[in-house]
Amino acid sequence: MTEPTRIHQLLDRAAAAHPDRPALTDWNGRELSYAGLTAAIARTEQDLRQLGMRPGDRLLIVAENAASVPVLLMAASRMDAVAVPVNARMTGPELTKIAGHTDPRLTVYLGDVSDPAAAHATAAGARPVTLAQSALQVAGPFDTTPETPEPGTGMTAVILYTTGTTGLPKGVMLTHGNLIFGGLSSARLRGIGPADVIHGVLPLTHVFGLTSMMCAGLSAGAHLRLHPRFSAAATLDALARDVTVLPAVPQMHAAIMAEARTRGQDRLTGPLRYVSSGAAPLDPDWKRRAEAFYGLALQNGYGMTETTAGVTITANAKGDPDPSAGVPLPGVQIALDASVGREPGTGEVLTRGPHVMRGYFRHPQATAAVLDAEGWMHTGDLARLDAQGRLHIVGRCKELIIRGGFNVYPPEVEAALNDHPAVLQTAVIGHVRPGGDEEVLAFCQLTAPGAVTAEALAAHAAARLSAYKRPTRILLTGPLPAAATGKVLKHRLMEHFADLLADLPRA
C-alpha cells in the first residue's frame, strides 16, 4: 500500500492484513472485527453525508469512550471533514464556548454511553438518530462555511480544545500527518502488535488516548477495549485476564494498587507486558513501588496536546532509578532556550518535527506566540538535559497545572470563583502531591470576613467547572501578597499563608 495521508488509512492497512481479528470491544461487550469496523465506518460516512456533512466541515463529538468515537473519527477522515471530540463531562457553559468557537456543521452526542452527553443533547434540543451503529443524538446541520480540503498529510484531522492561559478556548489543530506520526511512533516504540490487548480507559477526547491508544492500537492491528470511565476494580480484573498494554496516568496506577491491597494482593499476575505513565512527572519512590507491583518497568514520557502527545519517551529496564521523561522520539528535535531558564542549566523546552501542531484554530496571534519562523514549538515548560540527553522537566514558565492527566489553567478557575459576589480576588496555584499529581489550591480574598463559606464557593465552582478543574482546597484569606502594581505574587502564596496549609501533604 502507499504511505497513508489520512488516519483512516492506518486502519485500512491493518484490516487488509487481518480482517477477522478483533479491533474494538465496546463498553457493553459488543465487539467489532477489523472488517466489521471498516464496514461501520463506511456506512457512517454515508449517514453523515445524508445528515448534511460536507468535506471540510467540522463535526463536534460530545462523548465518553465508546466504539462510536473511533467510528465517527475515521468516518470524518474518509470524507475529509474535521472531527472535534470533546469530553461530555464538561459543564454546559464550557461546551457552549467550544461550540461557539468551533462553528460545527453537526454536533453528535453519545447519549447511549454518557449521561452527561445525554443531558447536553436534551439542552441543545438534539434529535435521536441511529449513527455509528448506536443510538445517538444529533443537532444540525447548521449554516457554516467548510474549510477547503487539502491533499497530503497537512490537512487538519482533529481539533482538540485546551482552555489556554486566558481562560478562552483554544483549538489545537492536529493534522493527519501529526496523528499518523504519533500513532506509528507509539506503536513501534511500545512494540504493539496484533497479539496485544489494550486497556482503553484514557479519554479519546484527549491527545494521550487519541494518539497512544487509538491511533497506535488500530494501526498495529491490536485489540482496543474501550471503557467510558476508569474503575480500579474493573481495570485490575482486566489486567488479571488478558490485557497486555496499559497506558495510564499516575493516579490511575495508585488506585489500581490500592484496590489490589484491599484484595490482599501485593503484586499483579497476568499477561501485562507494557505499562506506561504519562501526563505527570514520576516520583522515584512511587515509581519503584509501582514497578514492584507490576513486575515491569514503568515507562514515562513528555508531551502536550500541541505536540500530538509525544516529545520524549523512556525505554528503561525495571529498577532503573531514572526519573526523567526520556529522550526524543525518532524524528523529533528538542532544544532548551536558556534565556528563559530560572537557573543555570535549565531553559524552556523547544521542539520541532512532524509531531508539532498546525496551529490554533482561528487564533493566529496565539499560534505566532508559540510557533516561531523556524518551526520550533515553544512549550512553556522548563527543563534540563542530563549527560545522556534525557529530559528532566523542572517547572513551567506559565502556571499550567496538570491534575489527573488533564490540563488546568488557573485563570479559568480564578474567573469562576471571582464570579461570586462575595469574592474580591482569587489566586490559583498547583501543588505537587506525593506521587507526582498536582492539586488545585485556590486562595480567595473575600469582600468581608465571613461573607461566604468555602463550601458555598465549592458549590459555586462546581456549577461552572469540570470536576478535574475544581479546586482541591479553597482557602478564605485576607489580602493576597501583591506587588506595588497590585499584581498578586503567586510565588509567595504558600509562605504567606503557611498557617492555613500546615496539614498539606508535601511531595
pLDDT tens for 27-49 read 888 999 999 999 999 999 999 99
Residue 487 pLDDT exceeds 90: no
d(CA 382, CA 350): 10
Is residue 457 within 8 Å of residue 413, measured between CB atoms?
no
Task: Average the pLDDT over each of 290-304, 305-319, 493-507 and give the range with the smallest value.
Answer: 493-507
- Residue 491: predicted pLDDT: 79
Bridge partners (DSSP) listed for residue 260: none
Task: Average the pLDDT over each of 30-34, 281-285, 449-453, 494-498 and give the range with the smallest value.
Answer: 281-285
Q: What is the mean pLDDT of residues 489-495?
A: 86
- Residue 309: predicted pLDDT: 86
3-class secondary structure, 8: helix
What pTM value is reported for the model? 0.84
* Average pLDDT taken over every residue of the chain: 91
Bridge partners (DSSP) listed for residue 430: 440
**In the structure, what pLDDT confidence band is assigned to residue 344 with cuts at 50, 70 and 90?**
confident
Instruction: Please report, rounded to a whole number, the percentage of residues in the chain having pLDDT higher than 70.
Output: 94
Bridge partners (DSSP) listed for residue 83: 59, 158
- Residue 166: predicted pLDDT: 45
435: left (phi over 0), alpha (psi -120 to 50) or beta: left
Is residue 40 within 8 Å of residue 71, measured between CB atoms?
yes
Q: What is the mean pLDDT of residues 70-98?
A: 95
| Residue with grid cell 511500545, as numbered in its chain | 190
Residue 175 pLDDT exceeds 80: yes
d(CA 170, CA 357): 12
Is residue 44 within 8 Å of residue 11, measured between CB atoms?
no
Stretch(es) of the chain classified as CATH 3.40.50.980: 33-176
Cell of 394: 523542572
- Residue 393: predicted pLDDT: 84
Nearest residue to 432 (alpha-carbon basis) of 469, 472, 383, 479: 472
Task: Average the pLDDT over each of 11-25, 48-62, 228-242, 253-267 and give the range with the smallest value.
Answer: 253-267
Total residues belonging to the chain: 507
Is residue 416 within 8 Å of residue 470, measured between CB atoms?
no
Exposure of 244 by Cβ count < 10 A (0-12 exposed, 13-18 middle, 19+ buried)?
Answer: buried
Stretch(es) of the chain classified as CATH 3.30.300.30: 401-501
Looking at mean pLDDT, say which of 46-50, 168-172, 397-401 comes out highest: 46-50
Residue 165 pLDDT exceeds 50: no
Q: What is the mean pLDDT of residues 283-304?
A: 88
Stretch(es) of the chain classified as CATH 3.40.50.12780: 230-396
d(CA 396, CA 408): 13
Q: In this structure, what are the phi and psi dihedrals at residue 368, rounded to the nearest 5 degrees?
A: -65, -25
Residue 486 pLDDT exceeds 70: no
Q: What is the mean pLDDT of residues 238-257?
A: 89
What pLDDT, in 10s, does the model give residues 93-141? 989 999 999 999 999 999 999 999 999 999 999 999 999 999 999 999 9
The class of domain 401-501 in CATH terms is: alpha beta
230-396 is a CATH 3.40.50.12780 domain: yes
Q: Domain 33-176, what architecture?
A: 3-Layer(aba) Sandwich (3.40)
**In the structure, what pLDDT confidence band is assigned to residue 313 with cuts at 50, 70 and 90?**
very high
